[in-house]
Chains A and B, each alone.
Chain A
């Protein structure tokens, strides 16, 4: 064999090996004539479906917030790798994998054990009324079910099927009808046999890159090993208990003022304990959250927000948007608490909400 013939063999080999992934990715998915509303119904009834899976989520948002929200920043700004064992809504485990460790949530019967390998810590906490989003919420199944839970049949349409996690997933697009929302559309691909969302993409208005993307890379329906979701405290680790798992819950429990039943024309969401000071409003993907916060939390947050490029400062406070998420912090002082309002609504709605909550009397410290 001549030299160039050998190189030809090698080049062909490289070409062949290199073309395997794209060819596999381009395998066509089998389409189905299920209607959009049938598909929506199957997603809504899928929360009892048991499965095991591996998912990756990518957030495209840069949240201009402070240390108290670090987890949130990572969640929406970076890539997370999640393993899930899902026996049902009240018996599951989701592990977020990092290069050198793992944080896990073992959930059973209204309580969670939060495991952190690198801290060698295990914390038991009852499910709070409100909390910040965490990695498990971004699992395509959980995220898709949540985003579609209040969608109307007229808001959804079909998208072409795709191959996801080796399965033919049927596409469903949600275009919210509420004009106040900053969410342009939510694309969900659904496993036709179980109704579990396998891939979710959330787009803000005028965005070409998804604000949040989440997809299963491995998905196996069927009950996981019961031991997989059961936490046994390993030797050398103390299981601790906590009452407050994050700042959202803290705000709810210790906030200085109570939120109104309606804000900027959006109704308070039911299902929350009403004495809570953190109010959640809206429907579907048009959501608004408001809470009064003490100065020690709001002051650093205000500094951060005011220093963010694109921040708008007016009499209602400082407004910043990150993709479809808007944040508004009303003025306050050491003695006087301020209001933090955030949500997937446009600037005008946030401003209207700010104007309303500023009328609510807050106690001086």
Chain B
């Protein structure tokens, strides 16, 4: 079932269009940086963007930092929101279920397919950014870590892979929320927008001091912790918490999706 869902994802034109769009902004940014040589002011702009002026091989990270706050979660919400509601809307859901496919397994397969999509998207963005960055911005033998120590290219490569993994896992929460909403409505758009509303609320609450007690539970709380992979030594605290939090989101929202979907009347 998981294989079938992966095939479906890969054979869908929308998957590739989305990935193409995700690449557009970082590439544009790289071109602008190469033309103007103007980095963002400290404390503003995405992480690593000022560092790539010195070393183009760091551009995959800057590219990920560019798509992480908005574009990637939007893509995830759209894909995950479509996963069950889209099948319901096209009518294929009833045929899957009388095939029969166990409803629980369908949910898990859908979530796995969404995560596979995220991984694919992130890897493609990083790869494209590496090529674009090295060609347009040049490279250096050694890079500086965020903490001011020296990183070898091998260390940068390993940490970039870790960052890709972490960012992929960071999207689990959004995916699970969108999947739950996707089982509640037959409209993929409504599910995606619902998940986005949740994310926007989370980002807003993160800036609010009054919401401090809530903050450790917000899905976007630890997203930027991928930067911690480039401190020296690596600062694991927030990364571990981030992964744990995403796991909790998956358990809770996939659980709710399961409770809702397995006893739901399929009338689409």
Contacts and interface: CB of A to CB of B under 8 A. Distances in A.
Judged by CB atoms under 8 Å, the answer to whether A and B touch is yes
A17 B251 contact: yes
Interface residues of B, number: 40
A95 B51 CA distance: 18
Contacts of B55: 236
A350 B248 CA distance: 54
Given A95-B231, A100-B45, A102-B148, 8 more contacts: A7-B259, A100-B48, A101-B43, A115-B147, A120-B51, A228-B233, A234-B148, A235-B144
A21 B221 CA distance: 16
Interface in A13-66: 13-14, 17-18, 21, 54
Nearest to A10: B255
Given A9-B259, A54-B237, A95-B231, A231 B148 contact: yes
A186 to B, nearest CB: 23
Nearest to A6: B259
Interface stretch (B24-32, B84-92, B135-143, B162-170): B135-143
A84 to B, nearest CB: 12
Interface of B: 42-43, 45-48, 50-51, 54-55, 65, 140-150, 216-217, 224, 227-228, 231, 233, 235, 237, 248, 251-252, 255-256, 258-259, 262-263
Contact of B259 (A10, A102, A237): A10
* Interface SS majority for chain B: loop
A365 interface: no
Given A232-B150, A235-B144, A100 B255 contact: no
A237 to B, nearest CB: 6
Contacts of B251: 13, 17
A118 interface: yes
B140 A235 contact: yes
A6 B235 contact: no
A3 interface: yes
B65 to A, nearest CB: 8
B252 to A, nearest CB: 5
Contact of A102 (B54, B143, B146, B255): B146
13 contacts: A6-B262, A6-B263, A10-B255, A17-B248, A18-B217, A95-B231, A97-B231, A100-B46, A102-B146, A117-B146, A117-B147, A118-B42, A236-B55
Contacts of B143: 234-235
A3 B149 contact: no
A104 interface: yes
B233 A122 contact: no
